[in-house]
Structure 1
Amino acid sequence: MRAIVVGAGIGGLAASLSLRRAGVEVTLVEQTARFTEVGAGIQLAPNATRELRRLNVLAAVAAQAARPAHVSFRTWSDGSEICRYALGREAEDEFGAPYLVVHRADLHRALAAAVPPESVRLDTVVVGIDQDDDCAHVTTASGERLTADLVVAADGIRSAARQWLFGEDEVVFSGTAAYRALLPSAEVTDLDLPPLAVWLGPDRHFVHYWVRRGELLNVVAVFSTEEAAQESWTAQAEPGEQLREFADWDPRVLSVLERAGRVHRYGIHTRTPLKRWSQGRVTLLGDSAHAMVPFQAQGAAQAILDAAVLGDALTDATPADVPDALDRYVRRRLAGATSMQARSARAGSEFHLPDGPEAEARNARMAAYAAEHRFMPQATAWRAKALDD
């Protein structure tokens, strides 16, 4: 069995490892000349780390991660705690895998290191995908035509493969944008920040947590905006822009934003949910299938789950079985990923409620839930194993 995976982001790398684990010969095609992964912090709930363990990369990821003991939800104006939920050892004991926060580049590096170099074709731009009854084909910009039994398109939120399969379908601006920054721990130790916190305010929320074994503080400051913002991991904010957006917030929030050196600004985009991801011998995976806003911290986790289920579906399959195996993969993953897209969007709306009765009712609901449960409401998604999804 031979597969071509298009795209060497987190989803594509995880898919390559999962398919190899299933006995499939994999060629991973990536348009960049070398492995690179921009971005900053990323949260990995137990549903993701459980599958990283199956791929034999969890130890490498955990060695570069931080393990917050809890997550604290706070009020924007004075930092008073609304509620907190357990993570750390309690979550690992409950769900069978740890809750980790890592630098995205560290996760990407661990996944890339596990893929044999001979399986990777860098500096290769895909300009077309087609198929017949027996094979799927990838055409490169150089005119080369690669052939395999299936093609997995993990080519990101602006997936060309998605358009080739299902027609024109543009990305959707979410109405939110974010500032992000990384600060050395020495620059913020005097602020006595919780290890992982989400500050909620009108039309905004602010998230921070430690990455790289606590050496860096990852900061994400999200705000609502009607002006479509550029989708870019590298675009920089204007000097002081983030302070104007978060004026009057708790002094600790402002101190973090003021001390941040290089601040990036990016627009948050999504994709409209699809009713199917596969067509014959070609399928989508990760953001190409179900890009979502990050307000449940599940984007990467859902791509990793896709990869796990894809590998399971193709285990012991023959080339003739590929279309049916891809249908099984989609049946097992589409509903869960689509539900998480919707839950993430709802969380953003809840986080940004205006001061007054609505926010007070939200805070009361959160506090009441936390008083009865150790873990966040979305922890139900952490329990699902790929084999049972």
Structure 2
Amino acid sequence: MRAIVVGAGIGGLAAALSLRRTGCEVTLVEQAPRFTEIGAGIQLAPNATRVLRRLGLLDAVAARATRPSRLSFRTWSDGGEICHYALGREAEGAFGGPYLQVHRADLHQAMAAAVPPESVRLNTVVVGIGQDDKSARVTTVGGEHLEADLVVAADGVRSSARQWLFGVDEALFSGTAAYRALLPAGEVAGLGLPEYAIWLGPGRHFVHYWVRRGELLNVVGVIGTQAAQESWTARAEPGEHLRAFDGWDPRVRDILGRTGTVLRHGIHTRAPLARWNIGRVTLLGDSAHAMVPFQAQGAAQALVDAAVLGDCLVGAAPSDVPDALDRYVSRRLAAATKVQASSARAGEDYHLPDGPEARARNARLVAQAAENEFGPHAGAWGIDAFDEQQASQDAVTAAVERPGDDGGARPKPV
């Protein structure tokens, strides 16, 4: 079996590694000329770390990560704790994998190191995807045609492959933007910060946690706004982030006041699809289900996609690929779409105005802490993507149909 994976982000690397575990020959195609350290903190809940263990990467990632013991929800104005939830050993014991907080570059580096260099084609821009009954192919900007038995498009929230497969479908601005920064531990010493906290306020929220074994504090301030550029490298205007959190608890202001470079990232999503695959081509990760990050599940869902994709292709022959991709989508689409929706609701809940709505939200959080020590984010952590009964239920929910025999719905060669 031969596969081409388009995009070498977290989802694409996970797909390449998962497919290689099945014995598949993989070519990983990435438009960037080199792998660089981009992004900041990322959270890996137990459903993500169970996949990393399956891929043989958990120890390498955990060695560079931080393991928080708890999550604290706080009020915006005075920092009073609303409630807290257990992580640490309790979550690992309950869900079979640790909860890790890691620099995205450290995760990416560990994954990239596990892919043989000869399987990676950097500086290669894909301009089209095509297929017939026997093979799939990608066309590069230089006019080269790369052929395989299947193509996995993991080309991110701005996925071109998604449009080639299903027509014009732009990324959707979520109405929120994130200020992001990393601070050395020495810069925030003495502030008395909780190790991992989410501060809730009208129209915005603030998150901080440690990465790189506690060497760096990852800071994210999310605001509601009418427009923002979707970019991991765009810088905020000087003082903009401080003005956005004017009047907040002094600790939040102190953190923001000590930041150096602050990036401003417009948060975009994709509308749910009725299917992710056509014939021998499928979407994976953000190209299929980009979501707001308010349940810290974007990377986790891409990792689970990759693991299930590999599982569905175990023992498959090239002629079995369309059926195998149908099984992959039927096992993943409903679950990922559910997480998309719940993440969006979490963001709305975080930004409620002061008054009766915020008080009711706080009461819900306290009640959840009493009923479930792991809190509102844990709904997806224990779902076993390899439970066949669950997969069967997802298949009914997703109702994925095969393309017609006339091939009219299939992408055309470029």
What TM-score do you get using the length of structure 2 for normalisation?
A: 0.93
- Aligned twin of 1:136: 136
- Aligned twin of 1:78: 78
Counterparts of 1:343-358 in structure 2, within 5 Å, are: 343-358=342-357
Using the TM superposition, give the Cα deviation of residue 261 of structure 1 relative to its aligned residue in structure 2, in angstroms: 0.6
Counterparts of 1:145-160 in structure 2, within 5 Å, are: 145-160=145-160
Aligned mates of 1:63, 1:261 — CA distance in 2 = 27
Counterparts of 1:80-99 in structure 2, within 5 Å, are: 80-99=80-99
- Aligned twin of 1:29: 29
- Aligned twin of 1:221: 221
Unmatched segments (≥5 aa) in structure 1: none
The answer as to 2:380 corresponding to 1:381 is: yes
- Aligned twin of 1:322: 321
Alignment length (residue pairs): 388
Aligned mates of 1:37, 1:149 — CA distance in 2 = 32
Q: Is the contact made by 1:9 and 1:37 (CA closer than 8 Å) also made in structure 2?
A: no
Using the TM superposition, give the Cα deviation of residue 369 of structure 1 relative to its aligned residue in structure 2, in angstroms: 1.4
- Aligned twin of 1:47: 47
Residue deviations 1:9-48 (CA, integer Å, cap 9, x gap): 0000000000001111100011111122511000000000
Aligned mates of 2:234, 2:117 — CA distance in 1 = 31
Residue deviations 1:257-285 (CA, integer Å, cap 9, x gap): 00001101111110111000000000000
Q: Which amino acid aligns with 2:278?
A: Q
CA-atom RMSD, angstroms?
0.7
Q: Which amino acid aligns with 1:348?
A: G
Q: Which amino acid aligns with 1:367?
A: V
Aligned mates of 2:287, 2:370 — CA distance in 1 = 38
- Aligned twin of 1:211: 211
- Aligned twin of 1:103: 103
Aligned mates of 2:282, 2:37 — CA distance in 1 = 23
- Aligned twin of 1:241: 240
Aligned mates of 1:73, 1:331 — CA distance in 2 = 35
Using the TM superposition, give the Cα deviation of residue 57 of structure 1 relative to its aligned residue in structure 2, in angstroms: 0.6
Q: Which amino acid aligns with 1:237?
A: A
- Aligned twin of 2:183: 183
Q: Is the contact made by 1:52 and 1:58 (CA closer than 8 Å) also made in structure 2?
A: yes
Using the TM superposition, give the Cα deviation of residue 152 of structure 1 relative to its aligned residue in structure 2, in angstroms: 0.1
Q: Which amino acid aligns with 1:14?
A: A
- Aligned twin of 1:288: 287
Aligned mates of 1:353, 1:68 — CA distance in 2 = 27
Q: Is the contact made by 1:129 and 1:138 (CA closer than 8 Å) also made in structure 2?
A: yes
Using the TM superposition, give the Cα deviation of residue 365 of structure 1 relative to its aligned residue in structure 2, in angstroms: 1.0
- Aligned twin of 1:11: 11
Q: Is the contact made by 1:22 and 1:316 (CA closer than 8 Å) also made in structure 2?
A: yes
The answer as to 2:301 corresponding to 1:302 is: yes
Q: Which amino acid aligns with 1:200?
A: L
Aligned mates of 1:30, 1:303 — CA distance in 2 = 17
Aligned mates of 1:37, 1:236 — CA distance in 2 = 16
Using the TM superposition, give the Cα deviation of residue 164 of structure 1 relative to its aligned residue in structure 2, in angstroms: 0.3
- Aligned twin of 2:361: 362
- Aligned twin of 1:231: 230
Unmatched segments (≥5 aa) in structure 2: 392-414
Q: Is the contact made by 1:185 and 1:216 (CA closer than 8 Å) also made in structure 2?
A: yes
Aligned mates of 2:79, 2:117 — CA distance in 1 = 48
Counterparts of 1:255-294 in structure 2, within 5 Å, are: 255-294=254-293
Aligned mates of 2:37, 2:279 — CA distance in 1 = 31
Q: Which amino acid aligns with 2:327?
A: R
Using the TM superposition, give the Cα deviation of residue 212 of structure 1 relative to its aligned residue in structure 2, in angstroms: 0.4
Residue deviations 1:101-128 (CA, integer Å, cap 9, x gap): 0000000000000001111111111111
Aligned mates of 1:335, 1:138 — CA distance in 2 = 28
Using the TM superposition, give the Cα deviation of residue 385 of structure 1 relative to its aligned residue in structure 2, in angstroms: 2.2
**Helix, strand or coil at the partner of 1:102:** strand
Aligned mates of 1:32, 1:368 — CA distance in 2 = 47
The answer as to 2:249 corresponding to 1:250 is: yes
Using the TM superposition, give the Cα deviation of residue 372 of structure 1 relative to its aligned residue in structure 2, in angstroms: 2.4
Aligned mates of 1:317, 1:246 — CA distance in 2 = 54
**Helix, strand or coil at the partner of 1:213:** coil
Cα 1:167–1:37 shift into 2, 3 Å: farther
What TM-score do you get using the length of structure 1 for normalisation?
A: 0.99
Residue deviations 1:74-95 (CA, integer Å, cap 9, x gap): 0000000001000001111111
**Helix, strand or coil at the partner of 2:376:** coil
Aligned mates of 2:48, 2:73 — CA distance in 1 = 23
- Aligned twin of 1:197: 197
Aligned mates of 2:43, 2:375 — CA distance in 1 = 14
Aligned mates of 1:114, 1:260 — CA distance in 2 = 34
Aligned mates of 2:37, 2:45 — CA distance in 1 = 20
**Helix, strand or coil at the partner of 2:213:** helix
